[in-house]
């Protein structure tokens, strides 16, 4: 079974303080807060959304909300971290299949694009507001973004030169990794147009052929 190198990202419990000692409860509640408030940010704008609005959308009291996050910046960082975790899990699942070579990469791309489809609002929000964040948070968001691309670079590295897969040098690995990352996110950025012309399945098939064409 192919393995991919784990990408080290700062744990949310360390970077984002919490008063709760149970890590599993923290992850569960924070995910609920994130999923409940992303659409609120997209609809009203990141700057106009208040902590009171966030608490209401997540069905938390203000006091309970502050047990898990202390600011909107915390929430944005956790959105980025959640996207990375979903991508990491999807790629790992794809790599555990029985497919080999080209088919295995196609599965990786498919699973990632599904994540981009399911988390389109999360991805859009991340790019809309990153420029307004303080320097510390901006650096962390950009590092998380690069770590997503590294997931694909590591996956390509694990396939390179095996089961009929061409041997790829470092520059090609890097470029194709970025291609996959950006083309998946384009579905979120331009869905207002893409969804009028393509189903997600059609989009995946066309873009997969394009990416594979750069390798084979």
Note whether residue 110 is domain-resident: yes
113 within some domain: yes
Residue 172 covered by a domain: yes
- Is-above-0.85 flag for pTM? no
* CA distances (Å), origin 209, targets 86, 109, 197, 214: 24, 10, 18, 9
Note the pLDDT of residue 72. 83
pLDDT above 70 (res 2): no
Residue 91: give its domain's CATH number: 1.10.357.10
pLDDT grade for 148, boundaries at 50, 70 and 90: confident
User: Residue 7: inside a domain, yes or no?
Assistant: no
Q: Which of 92-96, 117-121, 127-131 has the highest mean pLDDT?
A: 117-121
- Please give the pLDDT value at position 156: 94
User: Can you tell me the distance from the alpha carbon of 163 to that of 149, in angstroms, rounded to the nearest whole number?
Assistant: 23
Which residue matches tokens 């390798």?
215
Provide the Cα torsion 105, 109, 110, 111; round to 10°: 100
Residue 61 is assigned to a structural domain of this protein: yes
Total domains present in the chain: 1
Residue 166 and residue 158: Cα distance in Å, rounded? 12
Pick the range with the lowest mean pLDDT from 52-61, 131-140, 185-194.
131-140
Q: Is residue 96 part of a domain?
A: yes
User: Three-class SS of residue 132?
Assistant: helix
Residue 21, pLDDT score:
84
pLDDT averaged over every residue in the chain: 86
Average pLDDT over residues 157-181: 94
Residues listed for the chain: 216
Measured between alpha carbons, how far is 195 from 180 in angstroms, rounded to an integer? Answer: 19
What are the residues whose beta carbons fall under 8 Å from the beta carbon of 46, sequence distance 6 or more?
Answer: 72, 76, 125, 128, 129, 132
Contact between residue 120 and residue 203 where contact means Cβ atoms under 8 Å apart: no
pLDDT for the residue numbered 11: 42
Express each pLDDT in 22-39 by its tens digit: 888 998 999 999 888 887
Two tokens, residue 187: 């579905």
Q: Would residue 170 count as lying in a domain? A: yes
Please tell me the predicted confidence (pLDDT) of residue 174: 96
Sign of the alpha-carbon torsion through 14, 16, 19, 25: negative
pLDDT digits (tens, 9 = 90+) for 94-110: 888 778 889 999 999 99
Instruction: Quote the pLDDT of residue 130.
Output: 80
| 159-164 mean pLDDT | 91
The answer to whether residue 163 is domain-embedded is yes
50-54, long-range: CB within 8 Å, 24+ apart, which pairs?
none
Which domain covers residue 126, as residue numbers? 12-213
Distance CA 54, CA 80 (A): 17
For residue 150, what pLDDT band results from cuts at 50, 70 and 90?
very high
* pLDDT tens sequence across 37-96: 887 888 888 888 888 999 999 999 999 999 998 888 888 888 888 888 888 888 888 888
- Asked whether residue 7 carries a pLDDT value surpassing 70, the answer given is no
């Amino acid at each position: 079974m192919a393995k991919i190198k784990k990408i080290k990202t700062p744990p949310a419990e360390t970077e984002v303080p919490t008063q709760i000692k149970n890590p599993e409860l923290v992850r569960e509640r924070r995910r609920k807060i994130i999923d409940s408030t992303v659409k609120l940010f997209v609809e009203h704008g990141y700057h106009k959304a208040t902590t009171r609005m966030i608490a209401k959308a997540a069905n938390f009291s203000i006091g309970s909300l502050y047990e898990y996050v202390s600011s909107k910046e915390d929430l944005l960082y956790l959105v980025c971290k959640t996207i990375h975790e979903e991508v990491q899990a999807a790629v790992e699942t794809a790599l555990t299949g029985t497919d080999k070579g080209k088919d295995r990469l196609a599965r990786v791309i498919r699973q990632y694009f599904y994540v981009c489809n399911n988390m389109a609002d999360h991805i859009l929000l991340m790019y809309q507001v990153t420029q307004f964040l303080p320097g510390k948070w901006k650096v962390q968001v950009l590092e998380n973004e690069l770590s997503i691309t590294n997931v694909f670079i590591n996956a390509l590295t694990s396939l390179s030169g095996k089961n009929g897969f061409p041997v790829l040098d470092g520059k090609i690995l890097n470029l194709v990794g970025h291609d996959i990352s950006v083309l998946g996110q384009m579905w979120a950025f331009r869905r207002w147009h893409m969804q009028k012309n393509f189903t997600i399945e059609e989009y995946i098939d066309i873009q997969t052929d394009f990416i594979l064409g750069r390798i084979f």
